[in-house]
Chain A
Amino acid sequence: MQKITMKLNRRQALTLSAGAAFAVVAGIRTVPAYASAEDTEKRIMEFTGGKTPESGKLTLTAPEIAENGNTVPISVNVESAMTGDDMVESVIILAEGNPNPEVATFNFTAMSGSAAATTRMRLAKTQNVIAVAKMADGSVFMDKKEVKVTIGGCGG
């Protein structure tokens, strides 16, 4: 929306804000509700059992710029021997700016051999993608990447 209004002249911008005012009065909801950083934080705390995650060990890989928000490849990789106490139990993926922060939870076992996984996710707009790893010894780690979601040419 910001990108769009940038390119409007004053009169068009006025027309638009009048339209927006109308939408509010008429109670029309034009923009879907998005999750917030607070919702995401809450979800992280649920996952870690109230523990604040440290940085390190976990690497989240995501493109800096996603060509299409409908399909964004992401990977997680946690340094771990995957035996005994040095085990990754699970990694949760969250997105701060989607309608709901939850994306996926990966569950690993000793037979995974490594705590590495890749999938493809949807991003409603430019936002932070967050990964949190829970280890068998109770420690938790986090990594965060901002992914810019671009607006397509004409069709969007």
Chain B
Amino acid sequence: MATPKPRVKVPKTASAGEVIVLKTLISHDMESGQRKDKEGKVIPRQIINKFSCEFNGQPVFSCDLDPAISANPYFEFTAKVTESGTFKFTWVDDNGSTYSDEQKIDVK
């Protein structure tokens, strides 16, 4: 599997106090641990087990993922913004790796 690649969608601007919609997607097989290879051996589980979103260092939303989440995990959720700043998105892999992305928003 190629290195997981995140994509995030954050509006460029918003008005103070607005509740905005955020979307995220990351390329990942989400190997469930339920499948077997050609020799009949169980393919070990390897999933993204945690996703979180922060705004200016404060937690906005997070999710604990189980193997029942589809390949290329997709999330859509909301955030209430009161000031300009930076969203930080982090995905944690079973193998210990973390992947992250950042996006700025201008709040008027």
Given known A-B contacts A111-B79, A122-B69, A117 and B63 have beta carbons under 8 A apart: yes
Given contacts A113-B79, A119-B75, contact A107 B63 (CB under 8 A): yes
A103 vs B66: C-alpha distance in the bound complex, in angstroms? Answer: 5
A110 to B81 alpha-carbon distance, docked (Å): 11
A117–B68 CB distance below 8 A: no
Q: What is the total number of residues of chain B having a CB less than 8 Å from a CB of chain A?
A: 27
Interface SS majority for chain B: strand
**In this assembly, does A32 line the interface, its C-beta being within 8 Å of a C-beta of chain B?**
yes
Rounded to whole angstroms, the CA-CA distance of A111 and B74 in the bound complex is 20
User: Is the interface on chain A under 10, 10 to 19, 20 to 34, or 35 or more residues?
Assistant: 20 to 34
B-binding residues in A (CB < 8 A):
32, 70-72, 75, 82, 95, 98-100, 102-114, 116-123
Given contacts A70-B71, A95-B68, A108-B61, 5 further A-B contacts (CB under 8 A): A106-B61, A107-B63, A109-B59, A109-B60, A117-B63
24 contacts between A and B (CB under 8 A): A70-B70, A70-B71, A75-B76, A98-B68, A103-B69, A104-B64, A107-B64, A109-B58, A109-B60, A111-B80, A112-B60, A112-B77, A112-B78, A112-B79, A113-B78, A113-B80, A114-B80, A117-B75, A119-B74, A119-B76, A120-B70, A120-B74, A121-B70, A122-B67
